[in-house]
A and B are shown apart, each in its own frame.
Chain A
Amino acid sequence: MKILVFAEQRDNRFKKPAFEAVKTARMLADQLGGEVVAIIIGDNIQSMGSDLGGYGAHKVLVAEDGRLARYAPVAYATIVAEAALAQHATVVVMSATALGKDLAPRVAVKLDAGLAAECTGLNVQGGEIVATRPVFAGKALAQVKITSAVKVFTLRPNVFSSGESGGVPAPTEKFSAALTDPDFSCGAKEMKQSSGKLDVAEANIIVTGGRGLKGPEGFGMIEDLAGALGAAVGASRAVVDAGWRPHEEQVGQTGKTVSPSLYIAVAVSGAIQHLAGMSSSKYIVAVNKDKDAPIFQVATYGIVADAFEIVPALTVEVKKLLGT
């Protein structure tokens, strides 16, 4: 059997979750007795392909075209689906990044495949892949099996390990699909960067501030701490709704779902909708002056005190340790 992995790159650099997807596919292939074929799509990306060998790809397909430099949903889906058919792949894996979440449902329909979205676990049981995925905003976990002939899985970023590159380059092959003009009738024209800040969806450490910070000025010390840690700044919905922080920073059920290695929640109460977006973080620190705040129920370490005293001291201490 063959597993096709879509490995996302942007501006000619792989997204970290692309490595997680390749590595996970390889782990599945090893257990199922199969082979991993990765596919990359873009413009001028030929030289990148072989790097995926280090994460376990046996072969890499390169679909290059000037029109593919930016995301075009139908064209990308056509390429991935045609590659799956050409390779006789029965499993398609990609990361549940913004792009992956958009691409996977189209690919699934094209291949008449079932889709298990945002998986946080994939295990082989009796020769079949059993996926674990959070449902009801993480308040329950479902175990599902895809019963169609072709199966599509997306993996929640930052949950599966990519390991270090093993350094073995993979052979690459050009791949092209028959694309027509209508395949490009919808496409990305530009990217509006949010001032070069680290995005919560991609950060390994997040420092989130809540309404207890009293106003937008309270985020100055949050930014300082995030700066010292190389972290992204997150926000609760209360502060986004108050206009203190932009929506793209919101963590939770109606914001972004994150699973960083370290999540520091400052003056956040830990409402159920907030927990939905961050409770799968590996380590959680809570700073809150209310010892009964629900955030302490999910926190690994807590400090019950005034954030305005703790956060600046924490920044100093972190800088001491890291020399930042």
Chain B
Amino acid sequence: MKLAACINHVPDTAAKINIAADGKTIDKSGVTYVISPYDEIAVEECLRLKEKNGGDVTVISLGGDAHKETLRKALAMGADKAVLLRDDSVRDSSGVARALADYLKELSPDIVFFGKQSVDYDDGAVGVMVAEMLGLPSVSVVVKLDIADGKATAEREIEGGREVLETSLPAVFTTQKGLNEPRYPSLKGIMGAKSKPIEERPTSPVTAKIELLLMQKPPAKPAGRIIGTDVSAVPELVRLLHEEAKVI
């Protein structure tokens, strides 16, 4: 089974985000970058399917040199092959999807995994966009996946429960926390990853469909009010919620 995961290199979720002087990007100083948490789940799912059904796992990232770090992490987890689609610019989700789709068309895997969203611009769009560009079915926000007889049954999280979908293969899936627990790379994996090559590919430029005008910090919330330090504060809290906030 030919498996692939598209992975992004993003600020650590605990990072403090400050806006750069241009007012359009983030200030990268002091920010550590990691593989996007959902993309780690995508890699893990590939590895599990390979362990069960055989095959090989390709991990793909679009970006600059820094993305090699994230590709190495995936190699250390156990991926067979890593591809960097080189692009040093910032693309919108359809531009990212275009480049990934062009490469995946050539690779032609049975299953491609994406994270449900990159924890940077939080678009939550690239995986499904790639599926549509490749003319493939997709199930997003998957928390359970079974592959059998050339078909997949996937459960995705929706409001009030889970929706169970069946789909033909090849197909695209986007991962949600709960699908699996990503492994830590073993020491052997980490050492091995150092010598595995990362294939570099150029990408064709695309016309952006989104123009970023401005990035700002959200307005600071007015300082909250501590109403009290024991149970005597409860009636006052209920009064405030009822009369001031009018939410109950």
Residue of A nearest to B217 (CB): A140
B143 at the interface (CB under 8 A from A): yes
A145:B247 contact, CB within 8 angstroms: no
Alpha-carbon distance A70/B248, docked complex (angstroms): 35
Alpha-carbon distance A180/B198, docked complex (angstroms): 41
Alpha-carbon distance A147/B141, docked complex (angstroms): 28
B66 at the interface (CB under 8 A from A): no
Given contacts A114-B92, A272-B13, contact A283 B165 (CB under 8 A): no
Interface centre among A77, A99, A108 (most CB of B within 10 A): A108
B19 at the interface (CB under 8 A from A): yes
Residues of B within 8 A of A116 (CB): 210
Residues of A within 8 A of B217 (CB): 139-141
A140:B218 contact, CB within 8 angstroms: yes
A192:B125 contact, CB within 8 angstroms: no
A140:B216 contact, CB within 8 angstroms: yes
B148 at the interface (CB under 8 A from A): no
A193 at the interface (CB under 8 A from B): yes
Alpha-carbon distance A314/B212, docked complex (angstroms): 45
Residues of A within 8 A of B97 (CB): 105, 109
Set A15, A98, A310: member contacting B231, Cβ < 8 A = A310
Which chain A residues (161-213) contact chain B, with CB distance < 8 Å?
A: 185-194, 197-199, 201-202, 205
Count how many chain A residues have C-beta atoms less than 8 Å from C-beta atoms of the other chain: 93
Set B14, B17, B122, B224: member contacting A286, Cβ < 8 A = B224
A273:B122 contact, CB within 8 angstroms: no
CB distance from B123 to the nearest CB of A (A): 5
Residues of B within 8 A of A197 (CB): 160
Residues of A within 8 A of B216 (CB): 140-141, 143
A88 at the interface (CB under 8 A from B): no
Alpha-carbon distance A87/B129, docked complex (angstroms): 23
B17:A118 contact, CB within 8 angstroms: no
Given contacts A108-B129, A297-B221, contact A303 B237 (CB under 8 A): yes
Residue of B nearest to A289 (CB): B229
Set A15, A105, A322: member contacting B125, Cβ < 8 A = A105
A314:B210 contact, CB within 8 angstroms: no
B107 at the interface (CB under 8 A from A): no
A108:B157 contact, CB within 8 angstroms: no
B69 at the interface (CB under 8 A from A): no
B164:A189 contact, CB within 8 angstroms: yes
Residues of A within 8 A of B120 (CB): 135-136
Residue of A nearest to B171 (CB): A186
Which chain B residues (143-171) contact chain A, with CB distance < 8 Å?
A: 143, 155-168, 171
B218:A134 contact, CB within 8 angstroms: yes
Alpha-carbon distance A77/B164, docked complex (angstroms): 19
B52 at the interface (CB under 8 A from A): no
Residues of B within 8 A of A305 (CB): 228-231, 233
Interface centre among A113, A136, A190 (most CB of B within 10 A): A136
Report A245-281 CB contacts with B as 1/0, cut-off 8 Å.
0011010011100000110000000001100100100
Alpha-carbon distance A141/B19, docked complex (angstroms): 10
Residues of B within 8 A of A299 (CB): 224
Given contacts A118-B122, A145-B213, A205-B247, contact A190 B164 (CB under 8 A): yes
Residues of A within 8 A of B131 (CB): 106
B212:A142 contact, CB within 8 angstroms: yes
B188 at the interface (CB under 8 A from A): no
Alpha-carbon distance A194/B241, docked complex (angstroms): 29
B226:A291 contact, CB within 8 angstroms: yes
Which chain B residues (186-211) contact chain A, with CB distance < 8 Å?
A: 208-211
Alpha-carbon distance A143/B211, docked complex (angstroms): 9
B218:A117 contact, CB within 8 angstroms: no
B1 at the interface (CB under 8 A from A): no
CB distance from B152 to the nearest CB of A (A): 9
3 closest Cβ pairs, A-B complex? A114-B209, A186-B137, A186-B167
Q: What are 17 residue pairs bridging A and B, where the CB atoms are less than 8 Å apart in the complex?
A: A109-B94, A134-B218, A136-B11, A136-B119, A136-B122, A144-B211, A147-B209, A186-B166, A189-B166, A193-B160, A201-B159, A254-B177, A301-B227, A302-B224, A303-B228, A314-B237, A321-B238
